[in-house]
Amino acid sequence: MSNCHRRYNRLLLVVAGLGGLLYGVDVGIIAGALPYLEPTSGLNGNQLSVIVAAVLLGSVISTLFAGALADWMGRKKLMTASGVLFVISIPMIALAHGYGSLVLGRLLQGVSAGLIGVVVPLYLAECLGAAQRGKGTGIFQWLLTLGIVVAAVIGYYFSLRVDTMEKLHDAARLFAFKDAAWRYIFWVSLPPGILFVLGSLYVAESARWLFRKGNPEAARAALLRSRTGEQAELELKEMADTMAAEKVKSANTGAQIKESLLSRRYVIPFVMACVILACNQATGVNSIIGYNATILIQAGLSDANAHLGYVILTLVNFLVTMIGVALVDKKGRKFLLSIGSAGIIVSLIATGLVFNQTEKYRVDVKDDVQALVVSSNQTATVEFNSDTAAKMLAGKGDSQPSTLVVIYSYGDFHAASRVVRSDDAAGQIEIDREGCLPPNKVAAFFQNPFANLEKSRAAPLVIDNALVTPVPSQGTGWLTAVCIFCFMAFFAAGPGVCVWLALSELMPTRIRSNGMSVALLINQGVSTTIAGIFLPTVGKYGYATMFFIFAGCTVVYFITAAFFLPETAGKTLEEIAEHFESRK
C-alpha cells in the first residue's frame, strides 16, 4: 500500500472521528448550556423541556428515513447533508431570541445526529478495508465519547466563570454573562461541524453503493483511492459475484422477498444486529450516565464529590474507548463483546449488592409528604432537614443523616424530585405539575405512548413514594463509584466500540442501510422504555433492584456475543454475508 493510500485512509478515519464528535456534542451540549439558558431566556419549564427533548425527536425522525436516504442519494452526500444541518443549527440556536428558533435549531441538531448515527458507520463499513474497519468505526465511538467530555468540560469552564461573576454581586452583569455563556457554549461546537462538512466533500463515495447503482468504473476509482489495484479488482469481483447470486435467487423467489428484511437469508444477521442493539441499551448505560450524580449522592457521596464522580466517569469512558479501538481489530469483535458484557454483569451485580446494604433500611414516608400537598393547585413544598427527618422517621428508623427523594405522579406521568440530604441547608423539594407533565402530545407519546395527557393535566398530585434512606459513609459512596467506573470501563472497551461494527458489518449490503435504520430505532425504543421505567422502579424497589435487572438483561447480551455472534474481524463484507448464507 502506497503513502497516498495511507494518507487517504487516515482521512477516512478523521472524517469518521469528526462524525462521532458531532454525535457526542449533539447529545451532551445541552447539559452545560441549560443552567444559563433557563434563567435568561424567559421560557417556562414546559418550553425548556421541549428544547431539551427536541434532539431526541429529531433523531428518531431522521433515523426512520436515514437508510432510505442513504440508498437514494448516496452515503457521501448524506454525510455532507447531515454536517450542513449541524452547521446551520448552531447559529440558529446561538443567535436565537425566541422559542421557535431554539426548538427548530435543536430539531435540526437531532436530525443531524440521527443521520450521522446511521450513515457514518455504514460508510466506514463499506469503504474501509477489512483490516481497518474495526479501527475506523472504533474511532467514531471514541470521538463520540470525546464529544460528551468536551461538552461537559465546556459547561464546567463556564460554571467557574459564572461562580466568579456571582462574587461581584452585580445582578445585571451576571445576567448578561449567563445569557452570553449558553450562546458561547453552542458556538464552540461549530468548528468540528465545518471540518466534517469539508472532509465529507473530499472523500470518495462508497464503492459498493456505486456498484449497485450500475457504475462499476466509478466504484473501481473509489476503491483505488484506498487500495492497491489487485485488492480493488478482488473486491469488485466479490461485489459482482454477490449481485449475480442475488439475481439468481430473486428470479426463483421473487423481487418482493428479495427486498424483505425478514427473508430467510437476511433474517439471522438482521435479528442478531437488533438483539445486540437492544441489549446495548438494556445494560442501562444511558440511565447510569444520565442519573450518575443522583445515584452517587444516594450512595453516600456529597454533591460536589458526586459531580466529580461524573467527570471521572466520562473520562473513564473516553480513555478506555481508546484501548478498545486499539484491540478491536487485533482481538476481534466477539472477544471484546464477550469480555465487556461479562465485566458489565459483574460490575452491575456488585453495585446492586452495595446499594442493597443501605436500601434495606429505607423508610417510605409518602403519607407525611401527601399531607403537605396544597389542594388548591396540587403542588407541594417539602422542607427536609434534621428536624423534619426526625419527625417523619419517629419510631421508624434513624434519621441522622439521611436523604429524601419523592416519586410522584399526575395521572399517567411519573417524575422524581432531586435528592436532598437532611444535613444540607438547601434541602427543599418543590413539586408541581410543570415539572412532571410533557408540554405537548408529541413529547407525551415519547415519554409514555399509552398515557392520556389531557386527563393528566387535571389529575391530582399523588405521592407514589417518599423514600428516606440512611446516608452511607463516604467510603461506601466511593466504593459504589468504583463499581460504576468498572461498569463504564467494560462497556467502553466492549459494547461501546463494537456496537457500531455489529450494526454495520452483520447485515448484507442489500439490506444494510434500511436494516441499520430499523435496528437503531429499536435501540432508541429500548432506551426510551428504560428511561420511562427507571424512576418508578427505583422509587418502588430501590437502585439495587434496578441494577440487578440491568445485569439480567446483560446476561442475554453475553450469551449472544459468546455463543452466536460470528467473528467478523479481518473479513470482507461479502465474506460475512456468505457466512450467514451457509448457515441458512
What pLDDT does residue 256 have?
44
163: how many CB neighbours lie within 10 A of its CB? 9
Task: Render the burial of 278-315: b for 16+ CB within 10 Å, e for the rest.
Answer: bbbbbbbbbbbbebbbbbbbbbbbbeebbbebbebbbb
Q: What is the pLDDT of residues 451-488, one digit of tens each?
A: 888 899 999 999 988 888 887 888 888 999 999 999 99
Q: How confident is the model at residue 330 (pLDDT cuts 50, 70, 90)?
A: confident
What pLDDT does residue 486 have?
96
Give the dihedral sign, CA 534/537/540/541.
negative
Compute the C-alpha angle 141/143/148, nearest 5°.
100
3-state secondary structure 276-291: HHHHHHHCCHHHHHHC
Residues whose CB is less than 8 angstroms from the CB of residue 297 and which lie 6 or more positions away in sequence, other chains included:
303, 306, 403, 419, 421
Reference 445, options 16, 81, 121, 56; nearest CA is 56
One-letter amino acid of 188: V
What pLDDT does residue 85 have?
93
Q: How far apart are CA 54 and CA 299, in angstroms?
A: 32
517, 503 in Cβ contact below 8 A?
A: no
β-partners of residue 421 are 403
Compute the C-alpha angle 524/526/531, nearest 5°.
95
Q: What is the pLDDT of residues 100-139, one digit of tens each?
A: 888 899 889 888 988 888 888 788 777 876 666 666 667 7
Domains of the chain (ranges, CATH numbers): 1-227 (1.20.1250.20), 272-360+474-584 (1.20.1250.20), 363-396+402-470 (no CATH)
Question: pTM for this one?
Answer: 0.68
Q: What is the pLDDT of residues 137-153, one digit of tens each?
A: 677 777 777 777 777 67
Reference 265, options 277, 253, 276; nearest CA is 253
Q: What is the mean pLDDT of the chain?
A: 80
What pLDDT does residue 246 have?
65
336, 498 in Cβ contact below 8 A?
A: yes
Q: How confident is the model at residue 212 (pLDDT cuts 50, 70, 90)?
A: confident
Rg of the chain over Cα atoms, rounded to whole angstroms, equals 25
Q: What is the pLDDT of residues 420-430, one digit of tens each?
A: 778 766 678 88
Reference 23, options 158, 188, 151, 199; nearest CA is 151
Residue 37 is placed in which grid cell?
439558558
| pLDDT for residue 257 is more than 50 | no
Per DSSP (E only), the strands in 363-504 are 363-364, 380-383, 402-410, 413-416, 420-421, 428-431, 461-470
| pLDDT for residue 573 is more than 70 | no
* CA distance readout (Å), 417 to 97, 294, 306, 566: 30, 10, 17, 45
* CA distance readout (Å), 124 to 82, 120, 137, 239, 572: 16, 6, 7, 17, 12
One-letter amino acid of 61: I
Residue 476 is placed in which grid cell?
461506601
